[in-house]
Amino acid sequence: MSLGVFDGMELTILPTKIMNWCEQVEQARQDLSPTLHIKVPCTTMNPKAISAIVCMLTDGVAENQTTNMIFSATDYLHGAMALGASLQGKIDPTKTHQLLLLREGFILADDDMIRLQAVGWIVGTAPNVPLQDRYLPQFPRYKTTYTKISAIGLSEYKCVMLMDADTLAIGDLKDLLSCNIFTEPQHRVATTIDLYGGYWHYFNSGSILWKTSSKEMDRVFQLTKDPTWMKAFTSDQDFLNAVYPERLNNTLNWEIIQRKVRQMEGGGAQVVDMGWEYNAQTHVEVQRSEWYESNRKDVKILHYTEKKGWQCEERHTLPPPISEMPTNCNQDKTIPICFCREAHLYWDALSTAKTLADQALKISNHRRQET
C-alpha cells in the first residue's frame, strides 16, 4: 500500500503480521511462572479472540488413585456438555473461545473428548494449585477447586468468564464478553452477590468474570503459600472473598442487589457488580421466592446451587407456578420439585448435547472403520 511520494521517495506501509494464537499466548504470559500456565491446543485457535468462557473439571476419581487417570465424574461431564450446548448462539465464537480444562493429571476417554468437542469445547489442561494439608478445605469436592484461580493468568485475553459445570447459559452473553464492564485500572473481577446463610453475603464464584493479569495471578497464587495470611478456607470461593473482601459488607451488598450502586464508593473498588442476571442461584427461588420471580425475566446464566441439575428428576415440561411450590422445601429437600423448578432447562440442554455428541461419534466411528 503506497502513501504517495515524500522528498523523492515513495512511502509504503508494510502489512502488519497477525500473530497466531500460540505466539499471542507466549507473549502475553511471559511474566507468568510456567507452573501456572494453562495448556490449550493453540495452533488451531482463532487468533482474533478477546475473551473466553472457561469451565474446569478439577476432580474426577478417588484421591488415592494415581495421576494420568481417566476423568470419570459422569455428572460433571454431563454438566459440561449441557453448558456447552447452552452456549451455542449465546457467544460470538470469532471473539470468544470456549475452553474446557481438566486439572493436570487427568485425561479424557476418547469418546468423552468427542462428546465435549461436539458442543463447542476446546479441551485443555489447567495446572494443579497445591495447598499444604493444613490449608485443605474439609469438604472433599472443594479440595481441588483452587485450580480454578489459574484462570486469572489467561492474560492473552482481556477477560475470562469462569463458569462451573453446574451453570447454564439461557441468555445472550456477548455484551459481557466484550470486557467493557471493567472501566477502571483497579478493577479485577466482576461478580454476583451470593445469598449465603440467609443474607446477601459474599460473591458467588460459580460464574465470575476475571480481568486477566499475569501479575495478579502471581499475587493471588503467592497468598496460598503465605503462612501469615493463608488459612483453611472452606472453599476457593471463601478464599477469593478474603482476597477481594468488598462483598463482606452486607449493607453495601443490599444496595447493590437493589441496583442502587455497582461497587463500593471511593474509587478503590476491585470488585464490580456483574448483576444478578449473570449468576442466578437457584436456591434463591426457594429462600427469596418473590425476589427471584421479579428478577427472573432478566436472567442470562442459571446456577444450580442447592441441587445440581443432574440431581433433579428428568423433566422436559414447564415447571409449576411458583405459587404452587411446597412451602417446606427448606425443611425437606428430598421433595422432588424443591430446588429443581428450573431443572427442565438443564435436561433440555443435555438432550441437545447428547444429540450433537451422538452425531459426532457416528462420524468418528465411520472414519475409524474406513482406516
- Inside any domain, residue 199: yes
pLDDT in tens, 184-240: 999 999 999 999 988 999 999 999 999 999 999 999 999 999 999 999 999 999 999
- Inside any domain, residue 14: no
- Inside any domain, residue 10: no
Q: What is the 3-state secondary structure (H, E, C) of the chain?
A: CEEEEECCEEEECCCCCCCCHHHHHHHHCCCCCHHHCCECCHHHCCCCCCEEEEEEECCCCCCCCCCCEECCCHHHHHHHHHHHHHHCCCCCCCCEEEEEEEECCEECCHHHHHHHHHCCCEEEEECCCCCCHHHCCCCHHHCCHHHHHHHHHCCCCCEEEEECCCEEECCCCCCHHHCCCCCCCCCCEEEEEEEECCEEEEEEEEEEEEECCHHHHHHHHHHCCCCCCCCCCCCHHHHHHHHCHHHHCHHHHHHHHCCCCCCCCCCCCCEEECCHHHCEECHHHHHCHHHHHHHHHHCCEEECCCCCHHHCCCCCCCCCCHHHCCCCCCCCCCCCCCCCCCHHHHHHHHHHHHHHHHHHHHHHHHHHHHC
pLDDT mean over 122-135:
95
pLDDT mean over 278-287:
96
In which band, very low, low, confident or very high, does the pLDDT at 264 lie, cut at 50, 70 and 90?
A: low
Q: Does the structure show a pLDDT above 70 at 16?
A: no
In which band, very low, low, confident or very high, does the pLDDT at 334 lie, cut at 50, 70 and 90?
A: very high
Q: Does the structure show a pLDDT above 90 at 4?
A: no
- Inside any domain, residue 230: yes
State how many domains the chain has: 1
pLDDT in tens, 87-119: 999 999 999 999 999 999 888 899 999 999 999
- Inside any domain, residue 16: no
Range of the domain at 218: 23-370
Per-residue pLDDT at 65: 44
- Give percent above pLDDT 90 in the chain: 80
Instruction: Note if the pTM is more than 0.85.
Output: yes
- Inside any domain, residue 3: no
- Inside any domain, residue 293: yes
Give the CATH number for residue 114: 3.90.550.10
- Inside any domain, residue 1: no
In which band, very low, low, confident or very high, does the pLDDT at 1 lie, cut at 50, 70 and 90?
A: very low
The grid coordinates listed for 98 are 470456549
